[in-house]
């Protein structure tokens, strides 16, 4: 069978961007501080990734405010719940992606949307077809580099507006799960959300370009995602250095 994502590797600059991001991630994940204090680093980056993901939904708070526990914003609280749940969902993600997406939405959108809509994707048949195709890819329907698959998962979920409310939190979490399940970032330490937020105008523009389905639009999105991972790797190095 033809790999549906393989043609994306031929887009100008995509393979190079993926390779550069992989090299940055591999280097960051071997930081010596992670052998001794990886748990502390992981907890801090989980917090920062959740705060960044909520900010990308226009629910913006300082990390220290959130750390102190004074922020009750339901989207922020949902992003924190999602971040905390990710390690336990990695193994299930390739086996039952639609089930995991529903779970992520329940966690992300509780108190932000009506209970009856929690975990329920949009009823549009066209959305259902594309969501099924995406689930097939996650379940082993492609052999492209994991970061490319994660970018497609992220972009498709944003483009489809699959879930009501803070659907972007779900999309970014699904991308994180893809990186972890595919072995790119098995411990979930690369906070790509921090990178997306640092380049927010590009994130928004590239996500919009992806929805066009054109080669230029898809290329712009994949290259942005690779750049965000590089920034996430840099954040990991910075954080690990702070506890060394």
Q: Shortest CA distance to 147 belongs to which of 48, 34, 228? A: 228
pLDDT surpassing 80 at residue 242: no
3-class DSSP string for 17-67: HHHHHHHHHHHHHCCCHHHHHHHHHHHHHHHHHHHHHHHCCCCCCCHHHHH
Work out the pLDDT band at 39, boundaries 50, 70, 90: confident
Distance CA 79, CA 76 (A): 5
- Give residue-wise pLDDT tens across range 180-220: 999 999 999 999 999 999 999 999 999 999 999 999 999 99
- Give residue-wise pLDDT tens across range 141-189: 999 999 999 999 999 999 999 899 999 999 999 999 999 999 999 999 9
State the residue for tokens 């972009």: 155
- Give residue-wise pLDDT tens across range 60-86: 999 999 999 999 999 999 999 999 999
* Extents of the domains making up the chain: 6-243
Residue 244: predicted pLDDT? 45
DSSP state, 129? Answer: H
Work out the pLDDT band at 35, boundaries 50, 70, 90: confident
User: Contact 148/5 with Cβ under 8 angstroms?
Assistant: yes
Least confidently predicted of 39-43, 62-66, 240-244: 240-244
| pTM flag (> 0.75) | yes
**CATH entry 1.10.357.10 includes domain 6-243:** no
- Give residue-wise pLDDT tens across range 82-113: 999 999 999 999 999 999 999 999 999 999 99
């Amino acid at each position: 069978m033809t790999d549906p994502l393989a043609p994306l590797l031929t887009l100008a600059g995509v393979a190079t961007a993926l390779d550069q991001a992989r090299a940055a991630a591999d280097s960051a994940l071997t930081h010596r501080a992670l052998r001794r204090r990886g748990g502390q680093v992981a907890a801090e980056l989980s917090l920062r990734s959740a705060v960044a993901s909520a900010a990308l939904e226009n629910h913006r708070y300082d990390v220290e405010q959130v750390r102190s526990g004074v922020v009750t914003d339901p989207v922020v609280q949902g992003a924190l719940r999602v971040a905390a749940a990710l390690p336990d969902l990695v193994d299930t993600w390739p086996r039952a992606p639609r089930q995991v997406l529903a779970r992520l939405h329940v966690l992300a959108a509780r108190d932000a949307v009506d209970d009856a809509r929690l975990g329920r994707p949009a009823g549009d048949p066209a959305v259902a077809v594309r969501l099924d195709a995406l689930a097939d890819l996650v379940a082993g329907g492609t052999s492209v580099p994991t970061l490319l698959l994660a970018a497609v998962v992220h972009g498709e979920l944003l483009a489809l507006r699959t879930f009501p409310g803070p659907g972007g939190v779900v999309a970014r979490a699904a991308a994180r799960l893809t990186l972890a399940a595919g072995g790119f970032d098995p411990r979930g330490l690369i906070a790509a959300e921090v990178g997306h937020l640092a380049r927010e105008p590009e994130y928004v523009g590239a996500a919009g370009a992806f929805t066009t389905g054109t080669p230029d639009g898809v290329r712009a999105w994949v290259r942005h995602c690779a750049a965000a991972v590089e920034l996430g790797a840099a954040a990991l190095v910075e954080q690990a250095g702070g506890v060394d």
